[in-house]
Amino acid sequence: MKKDKTESAVPEHVAIIMDGNGRWAKERGWSRLKGHEEGAESVRVVVDACRKVGVKYLTLYAFSVENWVRPKAEIAGLMKLLDKFLTDREKDLHENDVRLRVTGRIEDLPLFVRRKLLKVMEATKDHKTGQLILALSYGGRTEIANAAKQIALLVKDGKLDPTKIDETTVAEHLYLPDVPDPDLMIRTSGEMRLSNFLLWQLSYAEFYISQKLWPDFREPEFLEAIEEYKGRRRRFGDVK
């Protein structure tokens, strides 16, 4: 959604590619899972920082569709870590009026994690102050292909005129059509790629690349990204 072509205020929606957990652990001679555990603390800090500065939506790229090729032990550890995060943070979500949501193929996740996610999402569904969105078993191309399939079925059933299909039609069939597009995308560890993350939604987002590895990305680094965003002018193709 286009906004005023002026100097940007606090972003309404921040999306983050949390990169560098494995490298952070390797530099210290620790297991990759230890890096993920420390990265979970950065998640806690950034969620709290969003509340402080007024960011309403925070989407975290937690597990991609491509991540299923990782070693089974690492995947199992990540799922247990997610389960623990939900257990530890549910109270905070309630206290801060934050709704938990998931974007991605939740059906791919282990049953114990799926149950916990559905439980917390149901318990927080009426919260209004903010939304924490976890991208789990998520892929941008998969999401767009899924939207195309839904649209094609509507056309096949005679419920949609193909000549009426436009950007709004596609957007309405994405995983979370009610969520505004991200204003700011942050990626840690210095990497300069999207990694199949929110390919449709990030079309007009401002990008901020941090050299910090995710476990070292804490409140000061997050606030630095917000301040840089505030100084940017978002023209959306205009010359003003």
CATH number at residue 116: 3.40.1180.10
Q: Is residue 97 part of a domain?
A: yes
pTM for the full predicted model: 0.94
DSSP-H helix ranges across 54-139: 72-95, 111-124
State the pLDDT at residue 233: 81
Please report, as a single letter, which amino acid is at residue 201: Q
Region for 188 from its dihedrals, namely left if φ exceeds 0, alpha if ψ lies in -120 to 50, beta otherwise: beta
CA 180 to chain centre: 12
Q: Is residue 147 part of a domain?
A: no
State the pLDDT at residue 5: 44
> Whose CA is closest to 37, among 27, 25, 50?
25
Please report, as a single letter, which amino acid is at residue 176: L
Predicted confidence band of residue 3 (pLDDT cuts 50, 70, 90): very low
State the pLDDT at residue 1: 42
- Of the residues 21, 48, 67, 108, which is catalytic? 67
Cβ burial of 209 (10 Å; 0-12, 13-18, 19+) is middle
Radius of gyration of the chain (CA): 18
Residue pair 140/176 in contact by the 8 Å Cβ criterion? no
Q: Is residue 5 part of a domain?
A: no
- Of the residues 19, 21, 181, 183, which is catalytic? 19
Q: Is residue 127 part of a domain?
A: yes
Does the annotation mark 183 as catalytic?
A: no
Count of structural domains, the chain:
1
Q: Is residue 163 part of a domain?
A: no
Q: Is residue 160 part of a domain?
A: no
Instruction: For residue range 152-192, list pLDDT tens digits in order.
Output: 999 999 999 999 999 999 999 999 999 999 999 999 999 99
Domain hosting 215: range is 13-139+181-230
Predicted confidence band of residue 4 (pLDDT cuts 50, 70, 90): very low
User: What is the residue whose two structure tokens read 């079925």?
Assistant: 153
Q: Is residue 150 part of a domain?
A: no
Please report, as a single letter, which amino acid is at residue 231: G
Does the annotation mark 19 as catalytic?
A: yes
Predicted confidence band of residue 234 (pLDDT cuts 50, 70, 90): confident
State the pLDDT at residue 238: 66
Q: Is residue 39 part of a domain?
A: yes
Containing H/E element for 185?
Answer: strand 184-187
